[in-house]
């Protein structure tokens, strides 16, 4: 693992790191904020999965989470959204290919060789984090934005024994029922829609996946809300399954980091309460 940069911040260290990934067959970059802590201490960790077109840098530079992480003693990890490089297949559209991995393990050519973001996020990067940082892997939470909100919900629902807390900002709640999801899952996984269900939060809940609760913030001024995000489907799924979901519609907020940065510290505190129990 190579250190790209490190900076002192809020008493802790904000770093950016690079490593050769066995999951994607490429170099991958991720960021980690480690708050000040006692020598030998192991800290809870909060994962943040980013949205379409983003890298680790968007939330790292715009998220405004470090003060809250320092206050609550939580490590914050932000991976990239896809493999990248000249040898990695791409697409001319912004919502498919590089920058749009959708946190799936692709099965279709030419994507299957490199686009294995599910394995990267669920297996490889956690192992690397445990090796190099003072994390308590028994206390993990996950959140994300938009495509990353979809990732956080599905990863959390598939791994309830690993993630004590799950939240999201403006998540794509049902890729089976929106243009972004149909394009991505069809391209990466093929035409069998049954194979898509493990990457759809509402379908996972319908098929029996359960978590103790979740927190979702969604802006009412989000121009993707009606056609792509469809928050009401998650509300219905949680109500039907008896999952206590705090799904907050925030008046006037859009899809940007102005919205995310407004509420991210609240999410850090919400996760910290659950990770310290």
- Known catalytic residues are 146, 222, 255
φ/ψ of 59, rounded to 5, equals -75, -35
> Do 15 and 41 meet the contact criterion of CB atoms below 8 Å apart?
no
3-state secondary structure of 277: coil
| Other CB atoms within 10 Å distance of the CB of residue 248 | 13
The percent helix, strand, coil of the chain (3-state, each to 5) is 40, 25, 35
| Other CB atoms within 10 Å distance of the CB of residue 70 | 20
Q: Which two tokens stand for residue 226?
A: 């009606």
Beta pairing, strands 135-144 & 214-219: unpaired
| Cα 68 to chain centroid, rounded | 18
- Measured in residues, the chain has a length of 277
């Amino acid at each position: 693992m190579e250190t790209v940069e490190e900076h002192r911040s809020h008493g802790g260290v904000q770093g950016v790191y690079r490593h050769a990934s066995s999951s994607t067959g490429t170099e991958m970059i991720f960021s980690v904020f480690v708050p000040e802590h006692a020598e030998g201490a192991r800290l809870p960790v909060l994962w943040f999965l980013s949205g379409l077109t983003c890298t680790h840098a968007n939330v790292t530079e715009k998220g405004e989470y470090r003060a809250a992480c320092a206050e609550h003693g939580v490590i914050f990890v932000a991976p990239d959204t896809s493999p990248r490089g000249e040898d990695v297949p791409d697409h001319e559209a912004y919502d498919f290919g590089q920058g749009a991995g959708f946190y799936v393990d692709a099965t279709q050519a030419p994507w299957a060789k490199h686009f294995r973001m599910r394995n990267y996020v669920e297996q490889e990067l956690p192992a690397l984090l445990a090796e190099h940082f003072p994390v308590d892997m028994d206390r993990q939470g996950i959140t994300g934005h938009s495509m990353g909100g979809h990732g956080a919900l599905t990863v959390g629902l598939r791994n309830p024994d690993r993630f004590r807390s799950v939240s999201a900002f403006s998540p794509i709640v049902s890729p089976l029922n929106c243009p972004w999801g149909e394009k991505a899952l069809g391209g990466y996984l093929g035409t069998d829609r049954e194979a898509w269900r493990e990457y759809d939060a509402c379908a996972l809940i319908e098929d029996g996946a359960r978590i103790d609760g979740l927190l979702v913030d969604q802006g009412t001024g989000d121009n993707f809300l009606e056609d792509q995000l469809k928050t009401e489907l998650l509300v219905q799924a949680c109500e039907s399954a008896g999952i206590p979901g705090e799904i907050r519609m925030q008046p006037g907020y859009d899809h940007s980091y102005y919205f995310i940065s407004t509420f991210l510290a609240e999410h850090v505190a919400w996760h910290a309460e659950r990770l310290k129990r």
